[in-house]
Amino acid sequence: MDIFIQQIINGLVLGSIYALVALGYTMVYGIMGLINFAHGEVVMIGALVALSVIKLLANSGLPGVVIVLIGLMAAALVCMAVGFAIERVAYRPLRKAPKLAPLITAIGVSIVLQNLAMLIWGRNYHAFPPILPNGEHEILGATITSVQIAIIIIAAAMMGGLILLINRTRLGRAMRATAENPGIAQLMGVNINQIISLTFVIGSALAAVAGLMVSANYSIAHYYMGFVLGLKAFTAAVLGGIGNLAGAMLGGILLGLIESLGAGYIGDLTGGFFGSNYQDVFAFLVLICVLVFRPSGLVGEKAAERA
């Protein structure tokens, strides 16, 4: 029983992170109908920038939480700049080009970011310095760390904030209008270039937060971490119904749960034939099943025909 609860907790933490990254994919898709393949790399940049700043300040005597917040601010700023630049350089000039062109530039951007990161931070794994209070709490026979609790709360708060932003503000209304019909939105006086830039910037800020969370929770960051994380977050976005904010959150949490429960029980289910090293297969299988059988996702409205 406690293993079950433990996997649920792990799944929720993982899922919160996926959800934050998935929001970035889904926002961009909702507005431009384009999959931002480079989004995973933005998460990676966020993690590494935050980690560098935190390492720099680790011995400064400031309280751990303050250091992490400073690291987060730095990461968010860098990621927002990167997100802005990606859209400007790789997507905007190709807005009217055939679908394949922005896909290739996105792959190009991913490769560039990954290798820039490799040049800056090297090939090594970077450990997260132990500056956060790492209390462990017992829940129903399972343990949850303070960091994990923080991750879940912060992720929930950020998602709530985003929903308010989209549904309650002028900016959010402009974003929804652009997603609905860019041409008409423009006629109504919405500066769609600005809205698209802002979408990338907001998505990138969320990615920075997610990046920090990954490195804090798993105590590690690496120039190659963005790829698989990005792919899984994308899966989450598709699972929920790409283009749909609530769907991305739901999809993220669900995928986190599926993965950790799957990894926890696959050995038992297959009589030991498959082990937890097949964890990554779940994400891909879920992705393929959703796309093949229900391309509009769990709560989505748009069909795959659109792509």
Partner 1 sequence: MTLFESLRHNRRAAIGAMLFLGILLAVLPFTVGSMMGNSWLRILDFALLYIMLALGLNIVVGFAGLLDLGYIAFYAVGAYFYALLASPHFGLHLPVWLIIPGGAMLAGLFGIILGAPTLRLRGDYLAIVTLGFGEIVRIFMNNLNAPINITNGPQGISGIDPINMGGVTLAKPIEFVGITIPSLHAYYYLFLGLALLIVFVSIRLEDSRIGRAWVAIREDEIAAKACGINTRNIKLLAFAMGASFGGVAGGLFAGFQGFVSPESFSLMESVMVLCMVVLGGMGNIPGVILGGILLTLLPEAFRHGAGPVQMALFGKILLDPEALRMLAFGLALIVVMLYRPAGLWPSSTRRREFKGEGA
Distance of alpha carbon 136 from alpha carbon 196, whole angstroms = 42
Choose, by CB under 8 A, the member of 16, 110, 199, 217 that binds partner 1: 110
Q: Is the Cβ of residue 147 or residue 239 nearer to partner 1 in the bound state?
A: 239
**Least distance from C-beta 140 to partner 1, angstroms?**
32
Which among 71-79, 104-112, 159-167, 249-257 is the span making contact with partner 1, rule CB under 8 A? 104-112
Instruction: State in angstroms the smallest separation of the CB of 72 from partner 1.
Output: 27
Among 81, 104, 153, 188, binds partner 1 (CB under 8 A): 104
The minimum distance between CB 137 and partner 1, in angstroms, equals 34
Question: With binding defined as CB under 8 A, does residue 119 bind partner 1?
Answer: yes
Q: Give helix 146-168 / helix 170-180 axis angle, nearest 10°.
A: 80
Can you say how many angstroms the Cα of residue 35 is from the centroid of all Cα atoms in its chain? 13
Write out the two tokens for 135. 């209390």
DSSP labels for 217-268?
Answer: HHSEE-TTHHHHHHHHHHHHHHHH-TT-HHHHHHHHHHHHHHHHHHHHHHHH
Q: Which residues contact 157 (CB under 8 A, 6 or more apart)?
A: none
Phi, psi of 133 (to 5 degrees): -60, 120
Stretch that binds partner 1, among 135-143, 147-155, 200-208, 230-238 (CB under 8 A): 230-238
> What angle (nearest 5°) sits at the alpha carbon of residue 89, between those of residues 118 and 158?
75
Determine the residue type at 230.
G
CB of 97 to partner 1, least distance (A): 5
Residue 161 near partner 1 by CB under 8 A: no
Residues at the site binding partner 1, with contacts judged by CB under 8 A: 34-35, 89-90, 93-94, 97-105, 107-112, 114-116, 118-119, 123, 227, 231, 234, 238, 272-275, 277-278, 280-281, 284-285, 287-288, 291-292, 295, 304-305, 307
